[in-house]
Each structure stands twice: as structure tokens, then as C-alpha cells.
Amino acid sequence: MPETVTVIERLRAAGCVFAEDEARLLEKAASTPEELDALVDKRVSGLPLEQVVGWAEFCDLRIAVEPGVFVPRRRSEFLVRTAIALTTAAAPVIVDLCCGTGALGLAVATAFPAARLHAADVDAAAVRCARRNILPAGGRVYQGDLFAPLPAELRKTVAAAICNAPYVPTGEVPFLPPEARDHEPRVALDGGPDGLAVLRRVAAEAPRWLAPRGLLLVETSERQAPLMADAMARAGLSPHLHSDDDLGASVVVGTCRS
């Protein structure tokens, strides 16, 4: 189809490695040639594909993704798998902090039919997007800083708090791929001087919210994982490191002792 060839050529010229696959997705998302043109324009200008088509596949779920909201990464499927494997409660309270689209919390909650899911993010665009994904599944989404917007009655009840917070060290943000640097908000990327500024605060507050034997699960880089484990231990959690070489993913799990 000549139109497809043109789309593929335009995507290739813009440096899209999977131009054929992307062309197929863009064509599916457009209902007219004009709309297709507009979508291709957005993509070649550097917008992440998921923000252009409006969705991402994550843990076999179709997740709505809006412009200006962090695109859930494949690597974070390991955080989801670890949370599902380690959660023993039949009707767990699950909290997704720094939830972005809410993909991670939704994926964990989907594995527990009786789960109660609460998600929160500081950014209004993320909260709007997470509500589209999470409210239809019966979960709740709040706006605010880390645990602060959660209802007080959740204290000491959380079976699994998952958190993929910003963890890129400030000095490395300029070296991120342009798709992230230019189209995902700074608040979703910048984790402070060593990348762990937000996650240290999460660890410090977690014991007030976790049930006895409840878990805090966070994603870090491989280099940051031992530092994060120290931060968890200082907060009174028992830390364990988990990693997946195929996905290049590191997850630090802290268990609440009391």
C-alpha cells in the first residue's frame, strides 16, 4: 500500500528503528488519511509512540497514556512480577505511589481479584490519566506528595506499596533519550543528586503505612540498589535485592518488621 510505504519511509528517516511496526499502529489509530498524517507528524517530531497513539501495552494490559505522562517501561514489569510473587494476602491493600498512568498498580491488582488499589501522583496530568485506567477497575487515585493524599484509615494496612519514582540522578537527565527528556515531565525523571531523593522519603514514611509483614517494592538502577537497601534498613524495613538480567531491572523490597 503506497500510503504505508510513505509512512514507513517517513518514520525511518526520523530514526524510528521499528518503523514497520510503528506504521501499523499509527494506521490503526487513525480513521482518515489526514489523521494519519497528523499522527505521523507528531511521531517524527519525537513524541513517544505511546503518547501519539494514546496507549501502551504493559503486562498484557492496554494502558491509556496521555501527552506529558511518563510511558510505562517494559523493565517495570519485573517490579510487578516481584510484587505479585511476594504478596501473600488474599485481599491485599495495594498502593501505587508515583503512579504515572497507574499501569503498575493496575497490573498488580489484576492478579488479586479481591485487591483494593489506591494510587497517587503529585502531577495533575498523571492523576487524570491514572483515573482513566484505574477507576474502571474499582481502584482510587489521589493527587499529592507520596503518601500524604492517602486516606488515614490505610495506615498499617498496606500489603504491598509499589513505587517506581523518578530515579535518574539530576546530572544524568540531559543525557536521557530525547523522547524522555523532551516529552516526559522533569518531575517524572529527576531523582535528585544521586537519584534516590524521592525514594529515601518513601522508605522513611513506609513503616507508618505497611501492615505487619507488608512490603515496600521500588525500582532502582543496579548501582543504586545497595544504597536503597541501606535507606530501607535505616527506616526499619528488612531489605532484599532482586534483579532480572533480561529486562535490566533492579527491585529493592523492604519488609515491615512490626
State the minimum distance, in angstroms, from the CB of residue 146 to ligand SAM.
Answer: 5
State the minimum distance, in angstroms, from the CB of residue 104 to ligand SAM.
Answer: 5
State the minimum distance, in angstroms, from the CB of residue 38 to ligand SAM.
Answer: 26
Among 49, 83, 99, 109, binds ligand SAM (CB under 6 A): 99
The grid coordinates of residue 122 equal 503529585
Residue span binding ligand SAM (CB under 6 A) among the ranges 34-42, 84-92, 97-105, 225-233: 97-105
**Cβ within 8 Å of residue 52, ≥6 positions away:** 26, 29, 39, 42, 43
Check residue 98 for interaction with ligand SAM (CB under 6 A). Answer: yes
**Cβ within 8 Å of residue 165, ≥6 positions away:** 97, 98, 191, 198, 199, 202, 218
CB closer to ligand SAM, 47 vs 122: 122
**Cβ within 8 Å of residue 175, ≥6 positions away:** none
Check residue 76 for interaction with ligand SAM (CB under 6 A). Answer: yes
Q: Give CA–CA dist 35/33, Å, rounded.
A: 5
State the minimum distance, in angstroms, from the CB of residue 111 to ligand SAM.
Answer: 17
Per-position x/- string for 145-164, each x denoting binding to ligand SAM as judged by CB under 6 A, each - no binding:
xx-----------------x
Residues 146/97, Cβ–Cβ less than 8 Å = yes
Residues 108/83, Cβ–Cβ less than 8 Å = yes
Q: How far is CA 237 from CA 82, 99, 202, 214, 258, in A?
A: 17, 22, 12, 10, 9
Among 40, 104, 160, 196, binds ligand SAM (CB under 6 A): 104
158: which strand partners?
Answer: 93, 210
State the minimum distance, in angstroms, from the CB of residue 118 to ligand SAM.
Answer: 13
Q: Which amino acid is residue 60, in one-letter code?
A: D
Check residue 22 for interaction with ligand SAM (CB under 6 A). Answer: no
Check residue 70 for interaction with ligand SAM (CB under 6 A). Answer: yes
Map residue 41 onto helix, strand or coil.
helix
Check residue 247 for interaction with ligand SAM (CB under 6 A). Answer: no
Check residue 205 for interaction with ligand SAM (CB under 6 A). Answer: no
Check residue 26 for interaction with ligand SAM (CB under 6 A). Answer: no
Positions touching ligand SAM (CB under 6 A) are 70, 72, 76, 98-101, 103-104, 121-123, 126, 145-146, 164-166, 187-188, 198
